[in-house]
Amino acid sequence: MRPARLANSKSAYTMNEVLEKLWKIGVLPEHEDYIKSKIRITNQINSLLIVVVDIPFIIIGILFFWEYNLLLMIPSFGILICIGIFVLNYINGHKLARVILSIAPSGLALIYHAAVVEGYSEPIATTFMVQMSFSLIPFLIFDLRELPYLLAAVLFVTACFFLFDIFNVMLDVGADDYLFRYGILSYSNMCIALLMGFVIISTLLNNNGRILKRTQSLLYDMNLGKTRLEQSETELKANINQLEKAQEEERKRNWANEGLTRFGKLLRNNNDSIELLSERIIGNLVKYLNFSQGALYTVKAQEENPCLELKSCYAYDRQKYLDKFRPLNEGVLGQAVKEKNIIKIYAEIPNNQIPISSGLGESKPRSLLVVPLKLNDEVLGVMELASFSEVFDYQVEFAEKLSESITAALSVVNTNARTKKLLNDAQYMTEQMKEQEEEMRQNMEELQATQEEMERKQRELDRKTKEEKRHYKEQLLAKKEKIETLRKELRDL
């Protein structure tokens, strides 16, 4: 029992393979999917016509109408046409093959029907049914993408119904149509018509079902693609935003680095005078930050009343120059010095803030930025910057970074100034000492000369004194001798 089943399964499998190869005649990998489907349907309908229509009608002709050659030739010609359709599909003439298949069955059915019916008689209902089943073939092998071919085929098969009377008069072979009208052949025609109609309608429904499924699949894929596209669009927007943010951050970094480089050169090339350096710093900084006003103060440490001294300002009126000294512990500037942190004020500018002047009048600034200049936790000064627009964080960070370089430069300038002052003082003292030394040398020389003169005079005086003493002594001796002489003379007397 099992070997018989295996044999049947093998033969069935072989038959399925044969049919599959037959239906794939002319199907090429480069064809579009719907073309592949149409070629396959063409081969299936072609095979069905041979098996269900052409061969049975040849048998009917041989059994019942063997003396009428036309009735034998028509189904035989139909087989040849079916073979030609296979050949056309094989040589990639699928479009012509489908055109022939859409019109040939209806045309041959018209000729056969007109030939078998007696002249001027009513059409045979069952044969008419077969012809109607053939009229469905164009709708099966063409779709709306091939509308011209579909319309031409429909017009042809429709004309076949209206041309029956003309062909009936022309092709009446005098055959007895009783068997087709009332006999066994009427049932065979009915079965053929129903089978063809069922197969064609089933195939149409199956195709429509596949199309519907494919449409649903396409809709699902489209919705899925739309969802993915929306996700991709969202991700793309997020990536674009991230890229724009990164580009903006990069632009800000480049802007800050360029500014630090620019101000670094400025600080290196203007370190002779703190007034000149302050003027260059505040002028360039206000322009680079696109602000409207700016001022730079330095801390003037005094034993009594320490204060902030205005070293340079930009775009202030004369009033600012009159207030050159500000108390160290008062106002926003004093607060920045005390806290040693940047103070950013937006929209709530103090009333004592000098308004920004222009040719059109005066206006109160919208933003105020106060930056302390500190070195090793010691505040050396403070910068005051005002603007009509909002101060952004990257500008504050730039000002904070730049303040370190400015503070170092101011410290160097102050150190250089103190060093220069000490050198000048030392040079002045050296010159004073040289003058005093020269004066002392001259005094010493004069003193020495005076001393020498005094010594000379002393020697002269000593000499004179000695001579006078000697002369006085000689006179005294002479007087003594004279006295002695007188004494002797007196004694002698």
* pLDDT, tens only, 476-491: 777 777 777 777 777 7
Predicted TM-score (pTM) of the model is 0.48
Question: Identity (one letter) of the amino acid at 77?
Answer: F
Separation of alpha carbons 19 and 7, rounded Å: 18
As a whole-number percent, the residues of the chain with pLDDT over 90 amount to: 5
Residue 311 phi/psi, 5° resolution? -100, -35
pLDDT for position 321: 52
* pLDDT, tens only, 8-41: 544 445 777 888 888 888 888 888 888 888 888 8
Separation of alpha carbons 372 and 385, rounded Å: 11
Best CA proximity match to 143, nearest among 86, 219, 50, 215: 215
Separation of alpha carbons 435 and 99, rounded Å: 130
- Please, what sign has the CA dihedral across residues 317, 356, 370, 257? negative
pLDDT for position 245: 85
- pLDDT band of 72, cuts 50, 70, 90: confident
C-alpha 316 chain-centroid distance:
43
3-state secondary structure of 429: helix
Which residues, including other chains, have CB under 8 Å from residue 394's CB and lie 6 or more apart? 252, 255, 256
3-state secondary structure of 426: helix
Q: Quick check: 405 and 360 in contact, CB under 8 A? A: no
* pLDDT, tens only, 119-177: 777 888 888 888 888 888 898 888 888 889 989 999 999 998 888 888 888 877 777 77
Question: Residue 421 CB: number of other CB atoms within 10 A?
Answer: 10
Q: Quick check: 96 and 147 in contact, CB under 8 A? A: no
Distances (CA, A) of 254 to 240, 250, 261, 282, 394: 20, 6, 10, 21, 11
* pLDDT, tens only, 445-465: 777 777 777 777 777 777 777
CA torsion 345-349-354-356 (nearest 10°) is 80
Separation of alpha carbons 81 and 98, rounded Å: 11
pLDDT for position 380: 81
For residue 179, pLDDT beyond 80: no
pLDDT for position 5: 47
Instruction: Give the position of tokens 């003037």.
Output: 300
Separation of alpha carbons 287 and 400, rounded Å: 17
Instruction: Give the position of tokens 């160290």.
Output: 328
* pLDDT, tens only, 307-338: 888 888 887 654 455 567 777 777 787 787 77
Distances (CA, A) of 119 to 123, 170, 182: 10, 9, 18
| Tokens coding 35 | 């073309």
| Tokens coding 449 | 């000369």
3-state secondary structure of 311: strand
**Packing angle, helices 125-134 and 184-269, rounded to 10:** 10
| Tokens coding 167 | 């062909």
Separation of alpha carbons 53 and 129, rounded Å: 13
CATH code for 270-424? 3.30.450.40
Residue 40 phi/psi, 5° resolution? -65, -45
Separation of alpha carbons 74 and 131, rounded Å: 14
